[in-house]
Structure 1
Amino acid sequence: MSFASSFNPHSEAAQLRRAAMLERIAQLRALEERAAAASAQAKPVFDKRGQLLPRERIALLLDAGAPWLPLCTLAGFLQDTKDPTQSVAGGGVVAGIGFISGVRCMVVASDSGIEAGAIQPRGLEKILRVQDIALENKLPFVHLVESAGANLTKYKVEGFVHGGSLFRNLARHSAAGLPVITVQHGSGTAGGAYMPGLSDIVVMVRGRSRAFLAGPPLLKAATGEVATEEELGGAEMHTSVSGLGEYLAEDDREALGLARRIVDQLRDGAARPAAPAAPEPPLPADDLLSLMPTHHREPVDMREVMARLADGSELLEFKPLYGAATVCAQARIGGHAVGLISNNGPIDVAGANKATHFIQWMCQLGHPLIYLQNTTGYMVGKDSEQGGMIKHGSKMIQAVTGATVPQITIQCGASFGAGNYGMCGRGFEPRFLFSWPNARTAVMGGEQAARTMQIVAEAGLARKGLTPDPVQMQQQFEQIVQVFESQADAFHTSGLLLDDGVIDPRDTRAVLIFCLDTCAEAAQRTPRPLPFGVARM
C-alpha cells in the first residue's frame, strides 16, 4: 500500500534542514565545477593543437540525451592541499557509466587539461575502483588516454607498485570477454604505454598520439640513442609498423566517431533491457532536502525517505513491530523488485536478527538489497551485551558478507561504528555506494570519542595521584572533536574514495534506477571469457 506520510515540509525545522542541505549541494557543485574550470584553462593550448578538452571528448563519445552517471568526482579532495578553497578534486581523471551507440559502458578519460593528465595517487585509486565496477557489472571499458604518466616530482614507490593493478585489471577485463577499447588522444609513456598495449582495440590520432616505453629524454639518458617522438611511438608508426594501433584518425572527432562505430558492433547480446513500467512516487523528491536533520542526534523516520524512492510510494514493511528501530521493506524502484534496509535508531538485538532474516529472504527471492544508512551503530549497554549483541550483530554482518544479490548503499546520514559494517559500508564491497552531502562516517561521534578519551586520561591521572588541568582538558576535548568531525565529513571521505560519489538527495531515485538497470543488464549479458586477454599482434 502507498505510504501515509506525516512529514510537514513547510515546518520551520524542515526549512532549516532544507537550507543546510542546499548549501552543501552548492558546495559540492562548486567543487566539481572547480575541476572542470581548472581543466578548461588549457583550452587555448588544446585549440592550437586542434584537440578537444577531455570533457568535450566524453560529450561527443556518449549518446546525446542518454543517462550519464559520473563516479568519484571528489576523488583527491583535500589530498593535494588542506585548504578546501584551493583543493582540486577528481584525481585528474573523469569517469562514469554512460551509453555509447546504445551500449552501456564504463568510460574513463585522462583529465589532460590538468598537469598534462599525470596520474595522481587518488586518481590511480579512482581508476582501480571503476575498473572493479566495470568488471563486476560486465561493462565494456572505454579509455580516452592522454597522460604524462606518473608525476616524477611527486614520486612514491608505493604508487609505482600499486599501479601494476591497473594493468592487471585491463588483462582480467579482456580475459573475461569484456572489450577494452582505447582512444589514444596524446602521450602514453612508460607504464602509460601499457594502457593501449593491454587494450583489445586502439584508435590513434595522427600527429598527436604517442606511446613508448622511453621517450626521447629517457632514451638518450639511458642509451645515448637520439630519436624523435614520432619515430619512437607516433600514431603512423604504430598503425603501420609496430601494429599497436588498429585505426588511424585525423583528429579527436574522427577518433571518437571510430570508437562509437567500434562499440556499435558490441550490441549483440548487450542490448539495453526494456524499462519496466514504474509509477513515480506521489510524494515529492524535493522533500529529501528537508527530511534529514543537520545533526545525527535528531530522530528521523527513514520510511519517509523510502517512500520518496519507491514506485508509487508503496512499501511492504517486514516485521514492522519487531526490532522497530531497524526498518526493512520490500518495494519496487524503476520496476525492479528490491529490499530496503534502514535505521530509525541504533541497531539492537531484535533489529539485527530482523535484518539478517530479511537479507536472507531477499537472497532467496533474488531481489537486490538497498541500504539507506542512518545509524549510530549497534546498541551498547549491559542489557544489550547480556542479550548477545555481539553474536547477533555478527550474524547480520555475515548475512551482508554472504548475500548473493547485488547490494547498493546510500549513506543518508550517520554511519558510525560497526553499524557501517552491518549496513554494507565500503569494506563490504557493495556494487555501488553513494553519499548524501550531509552524511557522516566515523568509528563514533566526535564528542563521544573526545569524552571517552577524556575519561581514560582522567583515570590515568587519578592513578598517579594527579589532578587534571580543566583548561588543558577542555582544549584536548575540542581538538579531538575537531579531528573526528573533519574526517567524518562526506566531502572528506569521498575525497578518500570511500564512496563512489556524493549525490544530490533529489537524484537518489534516478541514481538507484540507473544502478539497478546496470545490475540487471549485467545479469543478462553473457560474455565470452578467454583464458587470456586479447594480445596485440
Structure 2
Amino acid sequence: MPLKYLRHNLQPICPHQPVLHRCTSSGARRSLPSAFPVVDGALQLIDRHVFEANLQNSQACQQRYLELKEKALKAGGETGVARHTQRNKKVLVRDRLHMLLDDDDFLELSPFAGLGLPYGDIPSAGCLTGIGKINGLWCVFTANDATVKGGTAYPITVKKQLRAQEVAIQNRLPCVYLVDSGGAFLPLQSDIFPDKNHGGRVFYNEAIMSAMRIPQVAVVCGSCTAGGAYVPTMAEEAIIVHRIGTIFLGGPPLVKAATGEEVTPEDLGGARLHSEVSGCVDHFAAVESEAYECTRNIISTLNFKLPEEDSAEAEEPLYNSEELMGLAPRSYNFSMDIKLIVSRLTDGSRFQEFKSRYGTSLVTGFAKIEGHLVGVVANNGKLTYEACLKGSHFVQLCEQRDIPLIFLQNTAPEPSHTLSQNKAESNTMILKAQASMMSAVACASVPKITVVTGGCHGSDSYAMVLGKCLRIIKQQEYQLSRGKPKAVPLRM
C-alpha cells in the first residue's frame, strides 16, 4: 500500500541526503530532539461501518493492483524475453539493476506507466526508472527494457524519462542511464520530437544537470540509435559492452540505403570503434557484469562525503498501519478525519499541529517519518479562505526551516456556485487565498511528496499538487452517472 510504503521510501528525498554534501561541506546536520504530542487515532464505534466499506473496496483495489503489477513485470512477454536473452545474448533489465545496485530494495517510479494507451499496452513505458543505492550513494536510474518493442521510445517513454530526470534535478541525485534502445517509435514521432517537453528535453536536461554538477554515468548495453546516441555522449562518463553495445545516428540498413555500402553494426558503431577510435565512450567492458562493476567504481570516485549513519531505530506508529486499508475513502461520503491517517504514518503517532483551531479544513503540522522531520499538509475537507492562508504560512515556514513537505490530498468535485454578490465576493477571496498558497508551494525548494488519498478535483487540487517532485496517487477510474463524475478507486 502506498501510504504504508511511504514510511519506508522517504529516505531518498530527505534534504540532508549524503549526495547533497561534498567533501568541502561541514557534514550532515544533526536533528534536534522532539517530543511531539501523540495523535488520538483510535477508531470510534460510529466509524466502523465506514471503515468496513472502505476496507472491502481497498481489498478489491489491491487485487487490481497486483494484476497490473504482474502485467508490468511480464514486460515484452515470452517472445520478447526469448529474443532478448537467447538471440541477442543480453541480460534482462531487472537483472541488470540487480548487478548495479547495492541490493534489490529500490524505489521504482511510475511502474504502471504505459498501460491502457490508445495504441496498446507499453508495459512500464518500455523503461524502468527509480532511486536506489550504488556504493552507498542514492542515485536515480533510467534503464531501457528492450523486451518491450525493442526498446523503442514512445511518447510515454519520453515522459517517464523526463520525470526521472526531474526527480534527479530537484534532489541533486547522481543519474545512471542503462541505454538499450532502437530510437524513437517513428509512427508517433509527432508526439516525440517537436515540443518543449518532448524528446529533445532529455538532452537539454543532461546539459542542465551537468552545469549543476549533478554526476551522470551511462552504460551502453544495447542499441543506441539516432537521437538516443546523445544520451551516453552527453554523460560525464560512459561504458560500452563489447559485441552488445552500439552507438550510431543511422544503422547499417540506413547506410546501405543511402550509400549502398554494407557495414556491420560493430564496424559502424561498436565498442572497439568508440573506445579506441572515436573516443565517444570512456570505458570498455567485455561483458555486462564488468560494465556494472565499472559503473559502481565510477560512483565511488564522485568525491561525496557520506554522513554518519544514525543507529537509532525509527519508532513505529502506535496504531496498526494495516488499518490504512479501511481509511482510504471509497467515495467522498466515506471519508474520515485525516488525523486517523496521520496517526498511522508518523513515528510514534506523534504530530505537532500548527494552527489547530484556524482553517480546520486543512490540517498542518510537524512529524517524523522513519526518523526524518517532515511538514504535513492534509485536506480535511474543502479548502476555505482561512485554510489557504494557513497552508501558505505553513509551507513558507517549512521552506525557511528546510523541512520536506508531505501533502495528503482528498479534494471533492464541488464547483463554486456564484448565486449572489456576497457568494461571488466570498469565492473571489478564496481564489486569492488559493493563489497565495499555490505561489508558496511552487516557490518552495524543499522536497515535496503528494499522496492523493481520495480525489483530485477543481481549484483545491492546484494548491495541493503544484510543483511536487514525487507523487503517490490513488488510481481512480471516472464514470459518468447522471452527468456527474463518479470516482471508483482502483487501488490505494
TM over 0.5: yes
State the alpha-carbon separation in 1 of the partners of residues 473 and 287 from structure 2: 39
Counterpart in the other structure of 1:356: 392
Provide the residue aligned with 2:114 in structure 1: 76
What SS class does the counterpart of residue 124 from structure 2 fall into? coil
The answer to whether the 8 A contact 1:102-1:271 is kept is no
Mapped pair 1:431 → 2:472: no
Using a 3 Å threshold, how does the CA distance of structure 1 residues 378 and 271 change in structure 2: closer, same or farther? farther
Task: Tell me whether 1:160 sits opposite 2:184 in the alignment.
Answer: no
Q: By how many angstroms is 1:385 displaced? A: 3.7
How big is each residue's C-alpha offset from its partner over 1:159-187, in whole Å with a ceiling of 9 and x where there is no partner? 12221111111222222212211111111
- 2:22 is matched with none
Write the deviation string for residues 318-369 of structure 1: whole angstroms up to 9, x where unpaired: 2222222221122122222222111221111222222222222323333222
Change (3 A) 1:271 1:420: same
The answer as to whether partners of 1:377 and 1:418 remain within 8 angstroms in 2 is: no
- For 1:156, what is the secondary structure of its paired residue? helix
> In the alignment, what sits opposite 1:367?
403
Cα displacement (A) at 1:372: 0.3
- Cα distance in structure 2, aligned partners of 1:169 and 1:79: 26
What corresponds to 1:308 in structure 2?
Answer: 344
1:150 to 180, 184, 187: 184
1:207 positional shift: 1.0
From 194, 201, 219, the counterpart of 2:237: 201
| Aligned-CA RMSD value | 2.5
**Counterpart secondary structure, 1:415:** coil
Seen in structure 2, the aligned counterparts of structure 1 residues 490 and 150 have a Cα distance that, compared at 3 Å, is: farther
Q: Are the counterparts in 2 of residues 330 and 338 from structure 1 also a CA contact under 8 Å?
A: yes
What secondary structure does 2:455 align onto?
strand
Query: What does the per-residue CA deviation read over 1:67-115, in whole Å, with 9 as the maximum and x for residues that have no partner?
Result: 411001121222144xxxx734311011100001111111111011111
| Match status 1:47 vs 2:85 | yes
Paired residue for 1:3, among 39, 48, 53?
39
Could you tell me how far 1:378 is from its partner in structure 2? 7.7
Going from structure 1 to structure 2, the CA distance change for 1:134 and 1:490 (only over 3 Å counts) comes to: farther
1:404–1:253 Cα change, 3 Å? closer
Alignment match, 2:438:
397
* Aligned residue number for residue 214 of structure 1: 250
Distance 1:8 1:112 in 2: 52
* Residue ranges of structure 2 left out of the alignment (5+ in a row): 1-36
TM-score (ref. length: structure 2)? 0.84
Matches within 5 A, 1:19-98: 19-39=56-76, 41=78, 42-48=80-86, 49-64=88-103, 67-81=105-119, 87-98=121-132
Q: Does the 8 Å contact 1:191/1:213 carry over to 2?
A: yes
Shift of 1:429: 1.7
Deviating runs (4+, > 6 A) in structure 1?
488-491
Question: Per-residue CA shift, 1:246-282, capped at 9, x if unaligned?
Answer: 2222222222122122222225335586476531111
Give matches, 1:173-252, under 5 Å. Answer: 173-252=209-288
The one-letter amino acid paired with 1:77 is: L
Query: For the structure 1 residues 431 and 386, does the alpha-carbon distance in structure 2 shift closer, same or farther, using more than 3 Å as the test?
Result: same
Contact 2:170 2:447 in 1 (8 A): no
Instruction: State the 1:18 CA deviation.
Output: 1.6
- Between stretches 337-346 and 11-20, larger displacement belongs to 11-20
Give how far 1:379 is off: 8.0
Distance between the aligned counterparts of 1:287 and 1:490, measured in 2? 17
Percent of aligned pairs sharing the same letter = 32
1:136: which partner in 2?
170
Counterpart AA for 1:28: Y
**Is the contact made by 1:149 and 1:189 (CA closer than 8 Å) also made in structure 2?**
yes
Q: 1:145 to 1:380 in 2, by over 3 A?
A: same
Letter in 1 for 2:470: F
1:439-478 matches, within 5 Å, as 478=482
Q: What is aligned with 1:114? A: 148
Give CA deviations for 1:228-258 in whole Å, capped at 9, x if unaligned. Answer: 2111101111111111222222222222122
Aligned pair in 2 of structure 1 residues 88, 187: CA closer, same or farther (>3 Å)?
closer
* Match for residue 462 of structure 2 among 421, 425, 446: 421
**Structure 2 residue 308 is the aligned partner of structure 1 residue 256:** no
Q: Matches of 2:145 and 2:363 in 1, distance apart?
A: 42
1:272 and 1:50 map into 2 onto residues whose CA distance is 42
Distance, in Å, in 2 between the alignment partners of 1:272 and 1:430 is: 29
**Shift in alpha-carbon separation, 1:361–1:340, aligned structure 2, 3 A:** same
Note the alpha carbon deviations across 1:33-66, whole angstroms, 9 max, x for none.
212213352333333243211111112211125x
Deviation at 1:403, TM superposition (A): 2.5
Would you say the 8 A contact 1:355–1:396 is kept in 2? yes
**Cα separation, partners in 2 of 1:60 and 1:384, compared to 1, 3 Å:** farther
For 1:271 and 1:230, locate their aligned partners in 2 and report how far apart those are by CA, in whole Å.
44
Aligned letter for 1:206?
H
Which amino acid in structure 1 is aligned with residue 378 of structure 2? Answer: S
Q: Which moved more, 1:93-102 or 1:332-341?
A: 332-341
Q: Within 1, Cα distance between the matches of 2:42 and 2:144?
A: 48
Aligned amino acid, residue 156 of structure 1: Q
Q: 1:178 to 1:354 in 2, by over 3 A?
A: closer
| Preserved CA contact (<8 Å) 1:183 1:204 | yes
Contact 2:329 2:453 in 1 (8 A): no
1:510-525 correspondence to structure 2 within 5 Å: none
Matched pairs, number: 445
Give the letter for the 1:157 counterpart. Answer: S
- Could you tell me whether the CA contact under 8 Å between 2:330 and 2:488 is conserved in 1? no
1:342–1:43 Cα change, 3 Å? same
Say if 1:275 and 1:33 are closer, same or farther in 2 by CA, change over 3 A. Answer: farther
Aligned 8 A contact 1:8 1:14 in 2? no
Q: Residues 315 and 348 of structure 2 are in contact (CA less than 8 Å); yes or no, is this contact kept in structure 1?
A: yes
Q: Which deviates further from its counterpart, 313-322 or 374-383?
A: 374-383
Deviation at 1:192, TM superposition (A): 1.4
> The residue matched to 1:297 in structure 2 has which SS?
helix
After TM superposition, the structure 1 = structure 2 runs for residues 258-277 of structure 1, keeping only pairs within 5 Å, are 258-266=294-302, 268-269=304-305, 274=310, 277=313
State the Cα distance separating 1:489 from its structure 2 match: 6.7
Distance 2:211 2:261 in 1: 37
Q: 1:175, 1:192 → 2: CA distance?
A: 21
The answer on whether the counterparts of 1:32 and 1:89 sit within 8 Å (CA) in structure 2 is no
Question: What SS does the corresponding residue of 2:218 show, helix, strand or coil?
Answer: strand
Q: Find the counterpart in structure 1 of residue 30 from structure 2.
A: none
